[in-house]
Structure 1
Amino acid sequence: MNEDQTQTGTPTCDAMRDAGNWNPAWDSLAELDAEWVEKFLGMATHPIRKGILDPKTFELIAIAVDASCTHMYAPGVRRHIRKALELGVTVEEILAVLQLTSILGIHSMALGAPILVEEAKRLVDDGPIQGTF
């Protein structure tokens, strides 16, 4: 991507690059469809750019999103933790967000445990496994 492409029609992307908030993984997407990436990042940053969320709240949510089991983007977690600390968010508040975010993984247990009980009961009832359920 040349300099003209990055500075034309992509103000959100350009601002993120300038601020050091650009994910290099987005480079190939931006090369293929800069307009789509601009719209995507515009949507993702809308609450902070428009003042809908205060900066501390935005950073805490961004930490949760980047640390979530479906995302796990360490550079983003680091960047947003650093920014949150700079804004005065406490270590305890960030830890609480990480603890709450870890609950997303509970779905594995919520899905798997009942199936385990059902299958173990079925096998006990059918005879191959000894025990009670």
Structure 2
Amino acid sequence: MSENESSYPVVDAMKAGGGWNSLWDGLHEMDPEWTELYMKMAMQPYQSGVLSPKVIQLLCIAVDASATHMYAPGTRRHIQAALDIGVTPEEILEVLKLATVVGIHSCNIGVPILVEEMAAHKERQAAA
């Protein structure tokens, strides 16, 4: 390998193309081989041709904007990429609407607990 060649071509390409998350820097420093292999695997959907670029960008928007991820820089990057390839703002908005459905699980978990705790609180007050 020459002095200018890197043994981490996927990571280097992601950094050059703006797809690298600076939060991954520490991981890459600690275990660059593993990081390269992981990123190679993660890039497979982009390179396989099975999903269209439009579908890939919409899925990335949904993941990055979801309540369990909430990664604004990725959401912005994928919205920009989607618009650049012709995805309409209306299509992106529909994906964002769908991504919000993940948040309903907070109510599915929290509301029954709230009902139980309210009943227990009333019982404690009545006993006091």
TM-score under structure 1 length normalisation: 0.83
What amino acid does structure 1 have at the position aligned with 2:40? G
For residues 6 and 102 of structure 1, do their structure 2 counterparts lie closer, same or farther at Cα, with a shift above 3 Å needed? Answer: farther
Q: CA deviation at 1:54?
A: 0.8
Distance 1:33 1:6 in 2: 21
1:83 maps to 2:78: no
Q: CA deviation at 1:96?
A: 1.0
Distance 1:88 1:94 in 2: 11
- 1:25 match: 23
Q: CA deviation at 1:9?
A: 2.3
Q: Which runs of 5+ in 2 are unaligned?
A: none
Distance 1:101 1:85 in 2: 18
Q: CA deviation at 1:30?
A: 1.0
Distance 1:91 1:101 in 2: 15
Q: CA deviation at 1:5?
A: 9.3
Question: RMSD of the TM alignment (CA)?
Answer: 2.1
Q: Which has the higher contact order (CA 8 A, sep 6+)?
A: 2
Over 2 Å off, 4+ runs: 4-9, 118-124, 126-129
- 2:68 match: 70
User: Which one of the candidate residues 97, 100, 122 is aligned to 1:99?
Assistant: 97
1:35 maps to 2:39: no
Distance 1:38 1:83 in 2: 23
Q: Which runs of 5+ in 1 are unaligned?
A: none
Distance 1:100 1:38 in 2: 32
Distance 1:16 1:93 in 2: 26
TM-score under structure 2 length normalisation: 0.85
Native 8 Å contact 1:6 1:14 kept in 2: no
